[in-house]
Amino acid sequence: MDFFDLHCDTITTAMHQSVGLDCDYLDISFPKNEKIKRHCQCFAIFCPDVISGEDAFNYYAMSKHFFDAQLAEFPQYFEQAKTISDVDRVTESGKTAAILTVEGGRVLGGKIERLEKLYNDGVRMMTLTWNGENEIGKGSTDQNFGLKPFGIEVIKEMENMGMVIDVSHLSDAGLSDVLKNVDCAVAASHSNLREICGHRRNLTDEYFKEMVRREGIVGINFYKAFLNNDEENASLSDIIKHIERMLLLGGENAVCMGSDYDGCDVVNGIRKMKDIPNLYDLVETEFGKELVEKIFWKNAYNFFAKRI
């Protein structure tokens, strides 16, 4: 099987716990399960809402340094990918292709020129917010608050430079502003559907359909609270329900995986990436070989192939 995962918090978790990516305690650790042939992992640098301004940018720099140190320590397991040819080369060698992303546009510290710094570092996708407010806008804790003027400037520059705009965590009003102000396809790296699970972090059917129309992608999040309104009863069957509805809404080429590993309480059965073949087999049983290959690899790969 192949696995292209749009989001994890493994770098942040490992950094704060002072462990390497060979630590089996982590949800994503190496060496990977030998059943996973091609693996491309989007590693997010997550900046919490309590850090702002220059401190946020310095936090990004510290996290990037840790990421680079892990690349240097474990070259036998993974390499950074800045282009789609890097993804091809690294995965064909049997290693994990690591795409660097950012969760929380507050790392810019309100300075638009830092987007170029991030892009040169290899950042290829960025969420505009986390849950709260920053210089760009607000997260889903305030659904009626849209993008600030700086936020509009940021998304237009991201579109120009080819950095993927990630709308996971963004408020509904903010997502509307994104769709009004840029023409490019956007991603929701780790979001499910609100019609199945009513959490504010999930996408409405209308937003999902508009993302599909624009040839965007949405990564299924494994967090219990985003899968089932009764999170204690969340199971792998809920992932199937979200995929089913996404397909019903026309998302055959949009549905991807966005695990949120090392960032949340993951549903039983796929507690770690080493367990991901369990979900792959279930999705294949439910939807067939062609669709499982799209959902676990091709949709995300094809999206990035047009952009990096």
pLDDT band at 252 (very low <50, low <70, confident <90, very high): very high
Average pLDDT over residues 158-164: 98
How far apart are the C-alpha atoms of 13 and 27, rounded to whole Å? 10
**Helices 149-161 & 172-181 angle (0-180, nearest 10):** 50
Task: Determine contact, residues 136/147, Cβ cutoff 8 Å.
Answer: yes
What's the pLDDT score for residue 111? Answer: 98
Tell me which CATH homologous superfamily contains domain 3-305: Metal-dependent hydrolases (3.20.20.140)
Using CB atoms within 10 Å of the CB of residue 85, give its burial: 0 to 12 exposed, 13 to 18 middle, 19+ buried: exposed
Residue 143 CB: number of other CB atoms within 10 A? 15
pLDDT (average), residues 240-265: 98
% of residues, the chain, pLDDT over 70: 100
Residue-wise pLDDT for 267-292, tens only, equals: 999 999 999 999 999 999 999 999 99
CA distance 158 to 150: 12
What confidence tens digit (pLDDT) does each residue in 110-154 have?
999 999 999 999 999 999 999 999 999 999 999 999 999 999 999
Which residues on adjacent β-strands are paired with residue 42? 99
Give the three-class secondary structure for 126: strand
Number of C-beta neighbours around residue 71 at 10 A: 17
Phi, psi of 278 (to 5 degrees): -60, -45
pTM, full prediction = 0.98
For residue 105, CA distances in Å to 41, 178, 199, 217, 256 come to: 20, 14, 22, 20, 23
pLDDT score for 50 = 96
Please report the sign of the dihedral spanned by the C-alpha atoms of residue 6, residue 9, residue 14, residue 15: positive
Q: Which region, left, alpha or beta, applies to residue 184 given φ > 0 means left and ψ of -120 to 50 means alpha?
A: beta
pLDDT at position 230 is 98
Q: Residue ranges per domain, the chain? A: 3-305
- DSSP state letter for 216: -
Please report, to the nearest 10 degrees, the dihedral formed by the alpha carbons of residues 189, 191, 192, 194 taken in order.
-140
Largest CA distance in the chain: 49
What is the reported pLDDT for 192?
Answer: 98
The reported pLDDT for the residue numbered 16 is: 98
Strand-pairing partners, residue 45, are 102
Query: What is the average per-residue pLDDT within 57-69?
Result: 98
CA distance 293 to 283: 10
Q: How confident is the model at residue 206 (pLDDT cuts 50, 70, 90)?
A: very high
Question: What does the pLDDT read at residue 212?
Answer: 98
pLDDT for residue 135: 98
Q: Per DSSP, what are the bridge partners of residue 76?
A: none
Expressed in angstroms, the distance from the first to the final Cα of the chain is: 23
Q: Which residues pair with 133 in a beta bridge?
A: 138
Average per-residue pLDDT in the chain?
Answer: 98
What pLDDT, in 10s, does the model give residues 68-93?
999 999 999 999 999 999 999 999 99
Confidence of residue 263 (pLDDT cuts 50, 70, 90): very high
Give the model's pLDDT for residue 125: 99
**Across 250-262, average pLDDT:** 98
